[in-house]
Structure 1
């Protein structure tokens, strides 16, 4: 489980499939008001406090984005800090109120530290995933965005191969397109192989 600060009142967690499996949590469980989900959220908040000094009380908005064959991204946004008199009424597990929304992504995004890693990844997954995809450069990294309209087993094999060269990213294509530089907006894997291998 990785956590990063997005702003003063917003943090983002990346939960891998292993993180969820260790706790016996399925994607659908994130909607349910069950003890293991509360325990996961408490663990997340403990980690956010230890690593980032991020503390919550009062209302909290939680956005859950399911990433195909990778896990989940959870964005936690702090609401207003309650008045000290209101804190007297809140006890234990009631120290925060959750508002949860769940979205499922139909894309896989991988980041690569250098261009050569991206080239090697493209060569290795071409036979599995075809010539598609889009590539962006952002913050000294390269990002490969793939649509997931393929058989789940093929997608999982492709992700396993990509993981040898890069790592899954919580970055959305909207952010990459707006703030990054578009290298290829279609057929990225095919073009990388055509020009660089």
Structure 2
């Protein structure tokens, strides 16, 4: 995938159909399967965040053009008007008409996406961590500073272990999440893989309470 920064508020990316298929998506389903098209979109957004640190809180405007060999996507951060009542694009109106938009995909993706503080998914309380060494995962499970109320699942896919972490919204604020993430990042690294892909292609190893389960079997 190619990423080009247009200005402070806008990035343009190009992704080929071959790249889309290598990510595990069928070319046709991104047009007709809303869930899969959104999954692909958020994977692309994660890569932009990792390479360019573009994403912030707030809505995004998405414009998509279908080309012969791939998709061209323009992502622009919307801004509030001066009176704070209206969302505005930080580019002139005449520029909008110069950008051809494929309305089929645009309808699938809607146009406005709420992006969370971490830029990882539409749910700011969920994260995926990957571990290539099982021993790192075992060491993490023995860390006494991790809250037992964190909800976890463990998947395996292509010789990598993936930990799906969910922080119950009623129990965690941003500070508590940041503290937990700092511990998790000592042992693993954040992954751009989505939980939807893990469910579809991976193998679930432990369905819940990963840390206590590992400690039960690996004392």
Superposition TM-score, scaled by structure 2 size: 0.51
Aligned residue number for residue 30 of structure 1? 60
Aligned residue number for residue 183 of structure 2? 161
**Aligned with residue 206 of structure 2, among 152, 172, 184:** 184
Coordinate RMSD, CA, aligned: 3.9
How many residues align structurally?
144
**Aligned with residue 157 of structure 2, among 119, 124, 138:** 138
Q: What CA distance in whole angstroms lies between the structure 2 residues aligned with 1:93 and 1:112?
A: 46
Q: What CA distance in whole angstroms lies between the structure 2 residues aligned with 1:7 and 1:61?
A: 21
Aligned residue number for residue 94 of structure 1? 98
After TM superposition, what 4+ stretches of structure 1 lie above 6 angstroms from structure 2? Answer: 8-11
Distance verdict in 2 for CA 1:56–1:179, change over 3 Å = closer
Contact 1:129–1:155, Cα closer than 8 Å, also in 2: no
**Aligned with residue 120 of structure 1, among 139, 152, 171:** 139
SS of alignment partner, residue 30 of structure 1: strand
Aligned residue number for residue 129 of structure 1? 147
Cα deviation for residue 111 of structure 1 reads 0.8
Question: Tell me, which stretches of 5 or more residues in structure 1 are unaligned?
Answer: 39-53, 63-90
Superposition TM-score, scaled by structure 1 size: 0.56
